[in-house]
Amino acid sequence: MANHVYKKIELVGSSPNSIEDAVNNALAKAAKTIRNMRWFEVVETRGYIENGQVAHWQVGVKIGFTLDEDE
């Protein structure tokens, strides 16, 4: 196994539907510009309240990815 070096970024995904959709939205957006994503951890969960009900979920995630190997 190669010696990997990892980097972490922190994003907040959102969704009116669910916490899981909020996480998936953050991952999908990150995947457009970040290569080698390997794992994520949920670090924060919150929601927006409208008329006494959950209107929107916001989930903070840290995404870990490997840096490109030197050739």
Span 13-65, pLDDT tens digits: 999 999 999 999 999 999 999 999 999 999 999 999 999 999 999 999 999 99
Using an 8 Å Cβ cutoff, are 12 and 42 in contact?
no
Burial class of residue 24, CB neighbours in 10 A (0-12, 13-18, 19+): middle
Give alpha helix (H) positions in 1-71.
Answer: 19-31
pLDDT of amino acid 3: 77
| pLDDT for the residue 69 | 74
> Residue 51: what pLDDT?
97
Distance (Å, whole) CA 63 – CA 71:
25
Sheet strands (E) in 1-71: 6-15, 37-50, 53-66
Question: What predicted TM-score, i.e. pTM, was given to this entire model?
Answer: 0.85
